[in-house]
Structure formats: structure tokens, C-alpha cells
Structure 1
Amino acid sequence: MSATVSASSSRGRRAALVLAILLAAFALLLGSSIAGPADSAWAAVATGKPDKPGKPGGGGGGGTTELEYAAIGDSFAAGTGARSYLDTSCYRSANSYPKLLDADANLRLVAFPACSGASTVEVISQQVPAIPSTARVVTVTVGGNDVGFADVMQNCFVLVTSSCPTFIANGSTIAASSGFATSIRNVVAAAKAKAPGAKVIVTGYPLLFHLNSSGVNAKYAWADEVNVETVKLNDVIETNAIAAGAVFVDAEGPFAGHGIGSSSPWINDWNWLRPKDGFHPNATGYAAYAAALRLVPVP
């Protein structure tokens, strides 16, 4: 009897140890998968593109009416979640809004250093230098990583830990801080200083989760709270982007009714087989971003 109990207890301890190791491994995976790399990874793929047949100046060696365009920012600027990746360091996508705008007749994407995981500080130090001084349009999506996007997604929607409310509160405090407001202004100022003739366009973030008539998401308990904090974050980004001389483009309206849990989601839900895509727009979502940006008159 005692030998049986001892063997059973030993198996239980081994199972618990294996589970702990797996959870630790998943946590490490999520830390890199949701946030993505920062540092100098943005330089891993060429930012330019050859002349495109069918566009003004494309393929014929003549003049062009295209405006030089640069796209900087985080994973939402890179197109993470839309697949058809151009690289696996920054997860820039051929379906990203910068690439979709590049296909338009009036824009030519000459710099695309946007990178998954980038914060405002990294955008200024690592991406702004890639903007040509002759750029006439610069788009920016940034701020989510400053307020702990990856920590919130991991602890509130993937592993769902007791730390979830703490990470949400921490992000809210950062978003409301004067330091964060200054960071948004500094990104715009740096872009304008690098390309004095450029119109700088800053986008907000979509609300990730669809809420039913009762104001809740059928799958995720913290969805409503994160949506509320996303609205607050967008408000801060808008106020400071405009104050710094940029144009702000809203993403909440275009994505309305298309969050995770809707009948037609434009945001990828979590998938263990595709962790990088989770909680980012899909290709349809990035097309909506591009459509909203096209409404802004450019020089």
C-alpha cells in the first residue's frame, strides 16, 4: 500500500514538473511572439522597391508623380498578422498597409523600417534615420509596446494569470503619463526633422474585441476592460500627435463590428500554431487601415 502511494506521488510530482516547464516555455515563446523583436532587426530586409510597371514612372525610366513614402512604427505598422511575410525578424507583410499604399498611383514606399515590438524610443533611434530627407509622406503606428501590449495579451488572454489586472493598470498609468505624451510628440518631431517636407500621419489602434449587447465578449473576460483602455490610449496618441503637427487617423471606427468574437473578425484570435499573428489585424484589417489612410489628402 505505501509503495503504491509513493509511486503515485512520484508520478504526480513528475507531471507537475513537466507542466511547469511547459508553461515556462510557453511564456518565453509568448514574450517574443506577441511583442516581436526590437533592437536593430528592422534592417534585415531592404526597404526600397524597384520601379513598378503600371504606375507613373514605373519601368519606363521617365519622370514620376509618385510621392516618396516612409512607414515607421510597431507590429501594426509592419503588417504583423497579415501573413505573406517579407522577413521573420520584424514580420513585415506584403499585405501591410504600407505595402497596400505603395501599390497606389501616387505613393512610392522608399523606406519601410517598421518592426514588430518597436517602442517609441526604438522608432526614434532605429527607424527614423532610415527616412529619406526627401520623403513627402510618413505614416506611424506606435505606442502599444510602451504600455505593455505583450504583457497584457499574455496574462489576460493566453495564459490568463492573476497578474492580468496589474498589467492593465500599469499600462493605463503609462498611457496617462506626461512621459508617454512626450514620447508620441518626440516621434512626430523626429520624423518631421528628418523629412521637413513630409506630411506625418499617425494612426490609432483598433478595438481588438467584439462585445455583445451586454457589453462583454463571449470568450474573454477582460476584453471589455482592454477595449476601454485602448480608447484611452488612442485619445492620448491623437491629442499629442496633432499637437506635434501630425494628422491623426482613427482605427476604431473602420474596425467597428469586426473585433475578435464578431461574425466577421478583422483581428486574429490567439492560435498556438501561429502565435505571432494573435491579436493583430488580418489582411482584411490592414486593407481597412489603408482605406482610412487614403482619406488623408497628401501633397
Structure 2
Amino acid sequence: MTTRVGLDAVGAAVVPRRIALAIAVVLAALAVVIGTAVAGPAEAASAAVAIGKPDKPGKPGGGGGNGGGTTELELAALGDSFAAGVGAGSYLETSCYTSSKSYPVLLDGDADKRLAAFPACSGKDTGDVINRQIAAVPTTAKLVTVTVGGNDVGFADVMQSCFVLPSSSCSSNIANGAATAASPEFTSSIVAVVDGIQARAPEAKVIVTGYPLLFWENSSGVNPKYAWADEVNDETVVLNDVIEAAATSAGAVFVDVEDDFAGHGIGSSSPWINDWKWLTTRTVNAFHPNATGHAAYAAAIRAVPPA
């Protein structure tokens, strides 16, 4: 099947320099979309905390003691762009692209939760969670959410070579990602994430979430727009299975969102994933859940039994 990704038609008068400039702009935007931007100052990672619920009587920090209010659980949210909220819009800053509509901030709106730390950041991998983000988790945290692993297996390379600027390297990038996901080192890195959180906050329930399937497929298992969509979906299932096995073996709870997003991938009549758009302000959102998708993530996490 022919991939339908390409530049809009241009007149014969367009010179190569203009085309080169357009491509340069797209690639610069792509660096944000796929999370290759370098994390900004430390204060950017905690920007979402500033919009959290105000202190209330009867709740921690509210000055009301045990005045009958609901006890809030300290929540910390770690991970990559899917945890930060890329795709949801309403960004609090543009270093990590944390969003006021991300699932961690939506959980902060619950009566029984307070977002105490939000170091999740676009472009980050398990190494960043282990070496930087865990240190931001309060030792008294009772709930820690994590979405991570996609960048370890080359999410950026796959999105660029298969869907943005389709090239012959698409197949090899998918294969490389699959090999990484199947490696003992990747499993160990997921286990290390959970172990590190548990060591930092011994009383915390650790919830590791998976990734949605990005693309809708018709009854023939094909996405009408993107030729490699079905294969990327298949590898995402494998990636989720590996993350689940590693996370649960370390004592975390795994939340699988594949079924929650079923029928809402790119190309569906009601997508919860943003499609790629050339040279628009929406490039930052591409291939990530929109605000409705983040609400689905939040609902799936809420469904986890408290005990």
C-alpha cells in the first residue's frame, strides 16, 4: 500500500532553497513531537504542581487536622511524553511539555489525590527516570504513576522514518526497537524503575501504564493512510507485554490501555491520538493522546483497586 504522507503540491516556481527551508522547519518541529528536546530547568518539571488543588480544611496542608475531610494521597508522576501530557495541549511550559490536561493533573483533581511531584518529561527514557526523576518523588508518596519505555525502543526514529518522512530505514528501525524490547537489558531497566521508586517511597503503590495502539485498523487490518501502521501497532502490543511482565514481577501494578483506546486510533471516526500535520501548530501534538485520551488514561488508573 502506498503511504499518503507528503508535502502539499507546490508550483513550479518554488525553488529548492524554499523546499529545504520548509523541511528544516518540519524537522525542528519533529524534534519536539518525538521528544528529542533536551529537558529544561528543574523548575519546569514541577510546573504542574503549581496548579494543584489549594489546601483545604481537613486535608493535608490545609490546617484543618482531621476535621472530617478526605485524606489525600500524595501522588508523583514519572515518565516520558505520554506521562507529561504531550498531545493534550494547554502546556504549562515548553521544556518538558507538561500539560494541565495530562492524566497526572487530572488525577490531581480527584478528592483523594494531590500531585506532589511531576518530573515526567518529553523525550525521556528509563535511564532518566532512574537517574533523575525518582529523586523528585516525596518519600511519603502513596501513589506513583509511570509511563516509560517508548523512547528506549526508538519511538522517535520509528515515527520519523515510517510516518513523517517515510524512508527505507523504517523497517530496520522497527526491527531494532523490537530487538531492544526483547532484550534482558530492557526488562532490567523497567524492573530498576520500579525498584528505585519502591526504595524511595516504600509505602507507595506503583502503577506502570502501557501505551495505546496509535493507529486505527479497518476490518482487513489496514490503516488507509499509513502503510506501516499495523506493524507498529503489533510491536506496541509486544512492548506493552514486556513492560507488564517486568513491572509486575517487581511488584508494580500494570495498567493496560489498549482496550480503552480501541477504536480511537489515528484514522478512526473519533481519534484519541493526534495525527501528523505538516507545518502547523499541531506538530507538537502528533502521535500522542489528545485531551480525551488523557482522560481515558486517568480513568484507567482510577479503576485500580486501592488495596
Q: Do the two structures share a fold, i.e. TM-score over 0.5?
A: yes
Q: 1:86 matched to which residue of 2?
A: 92
What root-mean-square deviation, in Å, do the aligned CA atoms of Structure 1 and Structure 2 show? 2.2
Say whether residues 1:294 and 2:282 are aligned partners.
no
- Choose 236-245 or 37-46, whichever is displaced more: 37-46
Q: Displacement, 1:295?
A: 0.8
- Number of equivalenced pairs: 288
1:243 and 1:40, CA in 2 relative to 1: closer, same or farther beyond 3 A? farther
Say whether residues 1:276 and 2:279 are aligned partners.
no
The equivalent position to 2:64 in structure 1, one of 62, 65, 71, is: 62
Alpha-carbon separation, structure 2, partners of 1:263 and 1:292: 22
The equivalent position to 1:136 in structure 2, one of 114, 125, 142, is: 142
Higher Cα Rg: structure 1 or 2?
A: 1
Q: Displacement, 1:138?
A: 0.2
Q: Structure 1 unaligned runs (5+)?
A: 1-11
- 1:211 maps to a residue whose letter is E
Q: Secondary structure of the equivalent of 1:151? A: helix
1:243-282 alignment to 2 at 5 Å? 243-272=249-278, 273=280, 274-282=282-290
- 1:57 maps to a residue whose letter is K
Q: 2:8 matched to which residue of 1?
A: none
What per-residue deviation string (whole Å, max 9, x for no partner) do you get for residues 268-287 of structure 1?
Answer: 00123121100000000000
Q: Secondary structure of the equivalent of 1:101? A: helix
Q: 1:37 matched to which residue of 2?
A: 37
Q: Displacement, 1:34?
A: 1.8
Alpha-carbon separation, structure 1, partners of 2:100 and 2:23: 33
Say whether residues 1:230 and 2:236 are aligned partners.
yes
Q: 2:206 matched to which residue of 1?
A: 200
Q: 1:19 matched to which residue of 2?
A: 19
Alpha-carbon separation, structure 1, partners of 2:272 and 2:195: 32
Q: Displacement, 1:157?
A: 0.7
For normalisation by structure 1, the TM-score amounts to 0.90
What per-residue deviation string (whole Å, max 9, x for no partner) do you get for residues 186-229 of structure 1?
Answer: 11111111101100000000000000011000100000000000
Alpha-carbon separation, structure 1, partners of 2:286 and 2:180: 23
What per-residue deviation string (whole Å, max 9, x for no partner) do you get for residues 106-159 of structure 1?
Answer: 111000110011110011111110000000000000000001111111111111
1:218 and 1:109, CA in 2 relative to 1: closer, same or farther beyond 3 A? same
1:100 and 1:51, CA in 2 relative to 1: closer, same or farther beyond 3 A? closer
1:103 and 1:54, CA in 2 relative to 1: closer, same or farther beyond 3 A? farther
What per-residue deviation string (whole Å, max 9, x for no partner) do you get for residues 1-45 of structure 1?
Answer: xxxxxxxxxxx9x93455345434533431333214344545424
Alpha-carbon separation, structure 2, partners of 1:110 and 1:47: 9
- Choose 249-258 or 35-44, whichever is displaced more: 35-44
- Choose 220-229 or 152-161, whichever is displaced more: 152-161
Q: 1:152 matched to which residue of 2?
A: 158
Q: Structure 2 unaligned runs (5+)?
A: 1-11
- 2:59 maps to a residue whose letter is G
1:35 and 1:60, CA in 2 relative to 1: closer, same or farther beyond 3 A? closer
Percent identity between the two aligned chains:
62
8 A contact 2:48–2:92 mirrored in 1: no
Q: Secondary structure of the equivalent of 2:203? A: coil
Alpha-carbon separation, structure 2, partners of 1:100 and 1:267: 18
- 2:127 maps to a residue whose letter is V
- 1:252 maps to a residue whose letter is E
1:42 and 1:256, CA in 2 relative to 1: closer, same or farther beyond 3 A? farther
Alpha-carbon separation, structure 2, partners of 1:242 and 1:58: 30
1:55 and 1:162, CA in 2 relative to 1: closer, same or farther beyond 3 A? farther
8 A contact 1:188–1:246 mirrored in 2: yes
Say whether residues 1:211 and 2:217 are aligned partners.
yes
Alpha-carbon separation, structure 1, partners of 2:296 and 2:29: 29
For normalisation by structure 2, the TM-score amounts to 0.88
Q: Displacement, 1:298?
A: 2.6
1:93-112 alignment to 2 at 5 Å? 93-112=99-118
- Structure with the higher helix share, 1 or 2: 1
8 A contact 2:33–2:283 mirrored in 1: yes
Alpha-carbon separation, structure 1, partners of 2:165 and 2:304: 40
8 A contact 1:84–1:95 mirrored in 2: yes
